[in-house]
């Protein structure tokens, strides 16, 4: 089977409860929209704890990776992490994420376009708002850190979930959306983004 064209790539974005409460929905959508990405699915819902747990268990390595990332973030700041076992961090984070993501409505969206997964992650910014780049959504709108979250025994509040790889995106989209909730259509702006010859611009 031929490799799909990068412009057909899709990714899952979930605006977490803090994104809605801080009335940043329009701002967040605009960041993705202005890249040229196409919105192909969107809904407002309060997810159940089991839905959230299943989401973070789609990738069997997620727990370990999340723990390693967190311990490394402490080390980079010259601080000692309050834990040593990455898997235990993963368990704690999953518990905390269930509370966080079920605390209020979220907006689940599917965005499509060239390199959608990587482009969305770049614009969203790194997991920890304290160290995510200025100009990214998390870097511009949140002050939270691993340290703050760990002291208070909660998940890092960072406004958004965005899929980490194409494989993850495909699994996550299936987890959040039924097939008929996604709409395939042509966005007129796609001509200038992707058309090879740019025919028909001049009168």
Interface residue list for ligand GDP (CB under 6 A): 66, 69-70, 89, 93, 96-97, 127, 146, 149-150, 155-156, 158, 161, 164
Least separation in angstroms between residue 46's CB and ligand GDP is 17
121, 79, 56, 171: CA torsion to nearest 10: 30
H or E element, residue 173: helix 166-176
Could you tell me the two tokens for 136? Answer: 């990214």
Beta-carbon contacts of residue 104 (< 8 Å; ≥ 6 apart): 17, 20, 21, 46
- Which lies closer to ligand GDP via its Cβ, residue 6 or residue 147? 147
3-state SS record for 58-113: CCCCHHHHHHHHHHHHHHHCCCCCCCCCHHHHHHHHHHHHHHHHCCCCEEEEEEEC
- Is 5 one of the catalytic residues? no
Q: Given the complex with ligand GDP, which of 46 and 189 has the nearer CB atom?
A: 46
Residue 155 Cβ, how far from ligand GDP at the closest point, in Å?
4
69 or 122: whose CB is closer to ligand GDP?
Answer: 69
Pick 9 or 150: Cβ nearer ligand GDP: 150
Q: Which is nearer to ligand GDP, 38 or 138 (CB)?
A: 138
**70: which 2 tokens?**
């967190």
Which of 87, 96, 10, 94 minimizes the C-alpha distance to 58? 94
CB of 3 to ligand GDP, least distance (A): 25
- Output the residue with the shortest Cβ distance to ligand GDP: 70
Burial (Cβ within 10 Å: 0-12, 13-18, ≥19) of residue 12: buried
Q: Residue 7 corresponds to which tokens in the numbers above? A: 């412009």
Name the minimum Å distance from CB 151 to ligand GDP: 9
Catalytic residue among 5, 51, 161, 175: 161
Minimum separation from the CB atom of position 154 to ligand GDP (A): 6
**Catalytic residue IDs:** 161
């Amino acid at each position: 089977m031929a490799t799909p064209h990068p412009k057909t790539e899709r990714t899952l974005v979930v605006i977490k409860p803090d994104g809605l409460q801080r009335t940043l929905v329009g701002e967040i959508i605009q960041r993705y929209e202005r890249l040229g990405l196409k919105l192909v699915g969107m809904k407002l819902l309060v997810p159940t704890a089991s839905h959230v747990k299943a989401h973070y268990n789609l990738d069997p390595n997620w727990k370990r990776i999340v723990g390693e990332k967190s311990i490394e973030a402490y080390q980079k700041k010259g601080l000692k992490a309050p834990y040593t076992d990455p898997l235990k961090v993963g368990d704690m984070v999953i518990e905390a994420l269930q509370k966080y993501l079920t605390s209020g409505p979220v907006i689940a969206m599917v965005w499509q376009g060239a390199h959608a997964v990587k482009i969305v992650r770049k614009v969203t910014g790194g997991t920890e708002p304290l160290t995510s780049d200025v100009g990214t959504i998390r870097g511009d709108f949140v002050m939270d850190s691993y340290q703050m979250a760990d002291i208070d025994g909660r998940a890092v509040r960072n406004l958004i979930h965005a899929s980490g790889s194409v494989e993850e995106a495909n699994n996550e989209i299936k987890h959040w959306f039924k097939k008929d909730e996604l709409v395939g259509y042509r966005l007129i702006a796609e001509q200038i983004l992707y058309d090879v010859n740019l025919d028909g611009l001049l009168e």
